[in-house]
Chain A
Amino acid sequence: MSAETAQNARGSGGASLFSDQRFRSLFFQALVIGLLGAFLVFIVYNTAHNIEKRGIQTGFAFLDAAAGYDIAISPFMEYTATHTHGRVFLVGLFNTLLVSFLGIIAATFLGVFLGVLRLSPNWLVSRIVYCYVEFTRNVPLLLQILLWYAIFLALPSVKQSITMFNDIIILNKRGLVLPEPLPGDGFMLVPIALVVAIVASIFFARWAKKTQAATGKIYPVFMTNTAMIIGLPLLAFAVTGFPLDFAYAELKGFNFKGGVVIKPEFTALWFALSLYTAAFISETVRAGIQSVSHGQTEASEALGLRPSWTMRLIILPQALRVIIPPMTSQYLNLTKNSSLAVAIGYPDIVQSFGGVTLNQTGQAIEVIFITMLVYLTISLLISAFMNWYNNRVSLVER
Chain B
Amino acid sequence: MSNASTNTSKKTDEVAIQLNGVHKWYGQFHVLKDINLNVQRGERIVICGPSGSGKSTLIRCINRLEEHQQGDIIVDNIELTGNLKNIDAIRREVGMCFQHFNLFPHLSVLENCTLAPIWVRKMPKKEAEEIAMHYLERVKIPDQASKFPGQLSGGQQQRVAIARSLCMNPRIMLFDEPTSALDPEMIAEVLDTMIELAETGMTMLCVTHEMGFARKVADRVIFMDGGEIIEQNEPEEFFNNPQSERTQKFLSQILAH
Q: Which B residues are CB-close (under 8 A) to A317?
A: 106
Determine if A298 and B106 form an interchain contact, defined as CB atoms under 8 angstroms apart.
no
Q: Which B residues are CB-close (under 8 A) to A295?
A: 98, 100, 102
In the complex where A296-B102, A309-B119 touch, is A302 in contact with B150 (Cβ < 8 A)? no
CB neighbors of B among A300-337 (8 A): 300-306, 309, 313-314, 317-318, 321
**A216, A298, A398: which contacts B102 (Cβ < 8 A)?**
A298
- Chain A residue nearest to B91 (CB atoms) is A304
Determine if A397 and B106 form an interchain contact, defined as CB atoms under 8 angstroms apart.
yes
**B94, B116, B148: which contacts A398 (Cβ < 8 A)?**
B148
Determine if A299 and B102 form an interchain contact, defined as CB atoms under 8 angstroms apart.
yes
Determine if B91 and A216 form an interchain contact, defined as CB atoms under 8 angstroms apart.
no
Residue B124 CB within 8 A of the other chain:
yes
- Shortest CB-to-CB span from B223 to chain A, Å, is 25
Determine if B88 and A213 form an interchain contact, defined as CB atoms under 8 angstroms apart.
no
Interface centre among A301, A317, A321 (most CB of B within 10 A): A301
Determine if A218 and B119 form an interchain contact, defined as CB atoms under 8 angstroms apart.
yes
Determine if A216 and B118 form an interchain contact, defined as CB atoms under 8 angstroms apart.
yes
Q: Which B residues are CB-close (under 8 A) to A299?
A: 96, 98, 102-104, 161
In the complex where A213-B125, A398-B150 touch, is A302 in contact with B92 (Cβ < 8 A)? no
CB neighbors of B among A347-398 (8 A): 395-398
Determine if A397 and B105 form an interchain contact, defined as CB atoms under 8 angstroms apart.
yes
- Chain B residue nearest to A298 (CB atoms) is B65
Determine if B168 and A304 form an interchain contact, defined as CB atoms under 8 angstroms apart.
yes
Residue B249 CB within 8 A of the other chain:
no
Determine if B92 and A213 form an interchain contact, defined as CB atoms under 8 angstroms apart.
no
- Shortest CB-to-CB span from B181 to chain A, Å, is 12
- Shortest CB-to-CB span from A298 to chain B, Å, is 5
In the complex where A212-B125, A213-B125, A397-B148 touch, is A303 in contact with B120 (Cβ < 8 A)? yes
Residue A215 CB within 8 A of the other chain:
yes
CB neighbors of A among B154-193 (8 A): 161, 164-165, 168
Residue B18 CB within 8 A of the other chain:
no
In the complex, A215 Cα to B120 Cα: how many Å?
13
- Shortest CB-to-CB span from A207 to chain B, Å, is 15
Q: Which A residues are CB-close (under 8 A) to B127?
A: 216
Q: Which A residues are CB-close (under 8 A) to B54?
A: none
- Shortest CB-to-CB span from B151 to chain A, Å, is 6
Residue A49 CB within 8 A of the other chain:
no
- Chain B residue nearest to A210 (CB atoms) is B125
Determine if B150 and A304 form an interchain contact, defined as CB atoms under 8 angstroms apart.
no
Determine if B65 and A304 form an interchain contact, defined as CB atoms under 8 angstroms apart.
no
Residue A139 CB within 8 A of the other chain:
no
Determine if B104 and A304 form an interchain contact, defined as CB atoms under 8 angstroms apart.
no
Residue A252 CB within 8 A of the other chain:
no
- Shortest CB-to-CB span from B155 to chain A, Å, is 18
Interface centre among B103, B106, B124 (most CB of A within 10 A): B106
Residue A53 CB within 8 A of the other chain:
no
- Chain B residue nearest to A310 (CB atoms) is B119
In the complex, A305 Cα to B84 Cα: how many Å?
12
Residue A54 CB within 8 A of the other chain:
no
Determine if B164 and A318 form an interchain contact, defined as CB atoms under 8 angstroms apart.
no
| Total count of chain B residues near the partner, CB < 8 A | 34
**B91, B94, B115, B150: which contacts A313 (Cβ < 8 A)?**
B115
- Chain A residue nearest to B63 (CB atoms) is A302
Q: Which A residues are CB-close (under 8 A) to B105?
A: 318, 397
In the complex where A214-B125, A215-B124, A298-B102 touch, is A304 in contact with B116 (Cβ < 8 A)? yes
In the complex, A218 Cα to B121 Cα: how many Å?
10
- Shortest CB-to-CB span from A322 to chain B, Å, is 12
Determine if A214 and B124 form an interchain contact, defined as CB atoms under 8 angstroms apart.
yes
Residue B123 CB within 8 A of the other chain:
yes
Q: Which A residues are CB-close (under 8 A) to B116?
A: 303-305
Residue B126 CB within 8 A of the other chain:
yes
Determine if B91 and A302 form an interchain contact, defined as CB atoms under 8 angstroms apart.
yes
Residue A217 CB within 8 A of the other chain:
yes
Residue B95 CB within 8 A of the other chain:
yes
Q: Which A residues are CB-close (under 8 A) to B164?
A: 303
Q: Which A residues are CB-close (under 8 A) to B168?
A: 303-304
Q: Which B residues are CB-close (under 8 A) to A396?
A: 148
Determine if A303 and B91 form an interchain contact, defined as CB atoms under 8 angstroms apart.
yes
In the complex, A137 Cα to B116 Cα: how many Å?
42
In the complex where A296-B104, A313-B115 touch, is A305 in contact with B148 (Cβ < 8 A)? no
- Chain A residue nearest to B120 (CB atoms) is A304
Determine if A318 and B106 form an interchain contact, defined as CB atoms under 8 angstroms apart.
yes
B 110-137 to A, binary, CB cutoff 8 A, 1 in contact else 0: 0000011011111111110000000000
Interface centre among B92, B94, B116, B127 (most CB of A within 10 A): B116
In the complex, A280 Cα to B191 Cα: how many Å?
48
The contact sample of 22 A-B pairs, CB cut-off 8 A, is A216-B122, A217-B122, A295-B100, A296-B102, A298-B65, A299-B96, A299-B98, A302-B63, A302-B94, A302-B96, A303-B95, A303-B116, A303-B120, A303-B168, A304-B91, A304-B92, A313-B119, A321-B106, A395-B106, A397-B106, A398-B150, A398-B151
B residues with CB within 8 A of A: 63, 65, 88, 91-92, 94-96, 98, 100, 102-106, 115-116, 118-127, 148, 150-151, 161, 164-165, 168
The 7 closest A-B pairs by CB, nearest first: A299-B102, A213-B125, A303-B116, A304-B91, A295-B102, A302-B96, A398-B150
Known: A302-B165, A303-B168. 19 other contacts (CB 8 A): A213-B124, A214-B125, A216-B125, A217-B122, A218-B119, A293-B102, A303-B95, A303-B116, A303-B120, A304-B88, A304-B92, A305-B115, A305-B116, A305-B119, A309-B119, A314-B104, A317-B106, A318-B106, A397-B105
